[in-house]
Structure 1
Amino acid sequence: MQKPNKYLLILLVTITAYVLFEYYRPKPIDWRATYENDDKIPFGTQALFELLPDVIQPSAIRTVRLPVYTLLTETKLPTPSNYIAVCREFDVDKNDREQLLTFVRRGNNAFISAYEFPDSLGITLGFRADVKDESKADSTLRQNFVNPSLRKTAGYNFVHDDGRNFLTIKQPAHITVLGRNARKEPVFIRIQYGKGHFFIHNLPLAFTNYYVLDPKTSDYAFKALAYLPARPTYWDEYQKQGRFSEDEQSIFRYIHSQPALNWAYYLVAFGLIFYVIFAGKRTQRIIPVIEAPKNTSVDFVQTIGRMYFQQGDHENLARKKIQYFLADLRERYGLTTTSLDKEFTETLARKSGAPLDETADLVRLLRDAQKSISLSEYDLITLNRAIENFKQAI
């Protein structure tokens, strides 16, 4: 039975231990301001969203995950109705803005709580909301309603807000101030637009779980939203979560939304990569080094030549030398070596590039050696020298 791969076991144990550690360890408080209606963290809005039907009874609250333009052009909304958006920045383009203005002008209401608004919307409605200078920062600054029946004697303090955000009114004729801070700066206004109203609020943290569930500030959000009439209400989550609801999210979208699962996913991915790199190197068979075949023909010829020379068989050695040399010429230059005449000499000189006179001397030696009855050691040496000189010349 094959043993389990130890590297794979180490990887699995590490991942399992990490996931269990992340799952059971105390979760740190997430102080991100998401304003999402399904977030239970301090600055989510789940508490308000779940309690909102009690404020706007008997109407239903519906979550929408569409851009304002798509919602108001492709969805048949009951008239009149309410639109609510609570977010860090109310980000809409020209088409969204025009459709929202048309929606309110026809007798509907839009309640928007955000720190930042598009300048184009502010110019149309007569207000400006921008981040003020740091000298205005004051986390102890209290907020309150203008309406005496809604005012709280001590006011409301939202300690996580730095107090720099307030609204500047440009067209006071059709704007009613509903809430101010302790410096008398507007933070909550109502704008008459056509047959409907815009409610512009500049402190979205007031609608988060932290302050809705705190007894000192819990009634603020509901008093502010009480200005909306009891109508069908649409809560905008597109500004914060996009188009996809929790049921529509893919498995990878869910994994990336959970910190523990997200880290486990990356551990698995990188662990597998390292496993392939290192374990693969350790388990593959060693590839033997195969040396290229050696040409031993030259060594063989030299050995045979030495043997003939040592035995004094000069004639046999010389004739074999001539035989192998002519065979080489036939193979290399395609010559016919049956007749070593003048035509052969000129053709060999032309194809090899050797001087004609040296070629003629070599051919003469070869021809004389072939005709000779016996060859001496001197003839062998002379013939060998002429062949070697010819090879060096080409």
Structure 2
Amino acid sequence: MANKLDKKTKIYAVLFVLLIFGYIYLESTKKQPINWFPSFVAKHKIPLGTYVLNKELSSIFPSNNIETVAIPPYVYLQDSTRTGTYFFVDEALNFGDAEFLRLLKFVARGNDVFISTHGMNIDTLNFETERLVSKNLDEKVFFKQLNKAFKGIEYSYDRPFINQVFTKIDTLNTTVLGITGYINANEERTEEGINFVKHSYGKGNFYLHTFPEVFTNYNTLHEINHQHTANILSYLREDIPILWDAYYKTGKSKITSPLQYLLGSKHLKWAYYMALIGILVFVIFEGKRKQRSIPIITPLKNQTVAFTRTIANMYFEKQEHKNIAEHKISYLLEFIRVKLHIQTIKIDAVFYENVALRSGNSLEDVEKLFKFCDAIHLKNQITNEELIKLNSLIEKFKKTIQYGK
């Protein structure tokens, strides 16, 4: 029966392992889904990374020096001699007050700052934004730049995104450069708003844009929309460096942990999973093979009472009442030394008085007990009645200590 069970267990184990490896094979060979994570990182080649734009900037602006800034603007702009167009593109940007103040000073000296992100409420420049929502699911988004040089061409975008528009602008210092909205099935505009502006500040300009997806790999490689990207970039100056921000990014631009490195590669990821599964299988089956039933060990019985009874019966049967009495007197003296902390070297009136005070017995009862003990010591043999009397006196003495009179 046991051999039959072992054989069945082995069959199940082999089937389980084959099932695991079959699953791993199917998972490792199937087509991986497209990663639509909005990273906006220059090193990422996923659809919403900015690898293509970052590589093409040098050819688009051959006379400009392209510099990557991987530190916060607050730190980078400590040097007041910095010049260029500070280029920010990310899903969300949140500058601190002190940091934005340095950007203001940077622009006031004659530089530019280009910011493309979803939603920005910049109280310092009197800008506010809100989300533009289409009324029907069949409507499509449009983007249009107002510069006549672009001939009023409109562009669209077929991926879901957050379409933000400016609801408040500083009309005295701001120029509207682009708009966005929605068109229904009848080619009628149902919603419209401003999504690209130029704001003059000091000797420089802020360019504020609410559609960062236009700079991603997916859009720049589009057969039509790449021109939309080029039109927006045409506002960048060619006489100063372009400072590409690599600090404010939703995605991670570099590997920050060994596990991220393992899971970042398809082959290493599945090798890691196989190792974990192998360890799990080893623990399950190896642990089962090595485990043995633990025998129940019955604890040893306390034989002290039985032993005492046996010894007592031996003395009693041999009529050695004197030896029993001597033992009981010795145990009584030991009891007094341990419990009452009274020396028993000298049995006298002082001893009687101390024992009576500490035990709660009367002085007469204590004297009676120990004088009877002295009488026992002087006899060679004692009777059964004398042994019983001695035991009664000792038990009465102990009970008084334990329970009181």
User: TM-score, structure 2 length as denominator?
Assistant: 0.75
The unaligned stretches of length 5 or more in structure 2 are 1-16, 182-188
After TM superposition, give the deviation of residue 239 of structure 1 in Å.
Answer: 1.4
> 2:7 matched to which residue of 1?
none
CA–CA separation in structure 2 for the residues paired with 1:58 and 1:15: 58
Structure 1 residues 60 and 171, CA, compared in 2 at 3 Å: closer, same or farther?
A: same
Q: 1:239 aligns with which of 229, 232, 248?
A: 248
> 1:181 matched to which residue of 2?
180
CA–CA separation in structure 2 for the residues paired with 1:152 and 1:290: 96
Q: How does 1:1-394 map to 2 (within 5 A)?
A: 24-74=29-79, 76-77=81-82, 79=83, 81-123=84-126, 127-132=127-132, 135=135, 140-151=140-151, 153=153, 155-160=154-159, 164-168=163-167, 170-181=169-180, 185-230=193-238, 231-240=240-249, 246=254, 249=256, 251=258, 254=261, 264=272, 296=304, 300-330=307-337, 332=339, 333-336=341-344, 339=347, 341-372=348-379, 374-394=381-401
CA–CA separation in structure 1 for the residues paired with 2:302 and 2:56: 91
* One-letter identity of the residue aligned with 2:157: F
Structure 1 residues 351 and 279, CA, compared in 2 at 3 Å: closer, same or farther?
A: farther
Cα deviation, 1:364-384, whole Å, max 9, x if unaligned, reads: 321222234542222222222
Q: What SS is found at the alignment partner of 2:48?
A: coil
* One-letter identity of the residue aligned with 1:358: D
CA–CA separation in structure 2 for the residues paired with 1:286 and 1:75: 78
CA–CA separation in structure 1 for the residues paired with 2:93 and 2:71: 14
Cα deviation, 1:278-314, whole Å, max 9, x if unaligned, reads: 969x779989989699584x65554333222212233
Cα deviation, 1:89-121, whole Å, max 9, x if unaligned, reads: 231111221111221222212222122113324
* One-letter identity of the residue aligned with 2:102: Q
Contact 1:138/1:164 (CA < 8 Å) preserved in 2? Answer: no
Structure 1 residues 61 and 16, CA, compared in 2 at 3 Å: closer, same or farther?
A: farther
* One-letter identity of the residue aligned with 1:61: I
After TM superposition, give the deviation of residue 234 of structure 1 in Å.
Answer: 0.8
Contact 1:112/1:200 (CA < 8 Å) preserved in 2? Answer: yes
After TM superposition, give the deviation of residue 222 of structure 1 in Å.
Answer: 0.9
CA–CA separation in structure 1 for the residues paired with 2:323 and 2:94: 104
After TM superposition, give the deviation of residue 335 of structure 1 in Å.
Answer: 2.9
Q: What SS is found at the alignment partner of 2:249?
A: helix
Contact 1:161/1:205 (CA < 8 Å) preserved in 2? Answer: no
Cα deviation, 1:188-230, whole Å, max 9, x if unaligned, reads: 2222222222222221112211111110211110111012121
CA–CA separation in structure 1 for the residues paired with 2:146 and 2:342: 115
Contact 1:176/1:190 (CA < 8 Å) preserved in 2? Answer: yes
Structure 1 residues 75 and 45, CA, compared in 2 at 3 Å: closer, same or farther?
A: farther
Structure 1 residues 391 and 181, CA, compared in 2 at 3 Å: closer, same or farther?
A: closer
* One-letter identity of the residue aligned with 1:218: H
CA–CA separation in structure 2 for the residues paired with 1:258 and 1:351: 85
Structure 1 residues 369 and 65, CA, compared in 2 at 3 Å: closer, same or farther?
A: same
* One-letter identity of the residue aligned with 2:110: G
CA–CA separation in structure 1 for the residues paired with 2:81 and 2:152: 40
* One-letter identity of the residue aligned with 1:128: E
CA–CA separation in structure 1 for the residues paired with 2:336 and 2:172: 114
CA–CA separation in structure 1 for the residues paired with 2:92 and 2:344: 96
After TM superposition, give the deviation of residue 156 of structure 1 in Å.
Answer: 0.5
Contact 2:146/2:152 (CA < 8 Å) preserved in 1? Answer: no
Contact 2:342/2:354 (CA < 8 Å) preserved in 1? Answer: no
Q: Report the count of equivalent residues.
A: 370
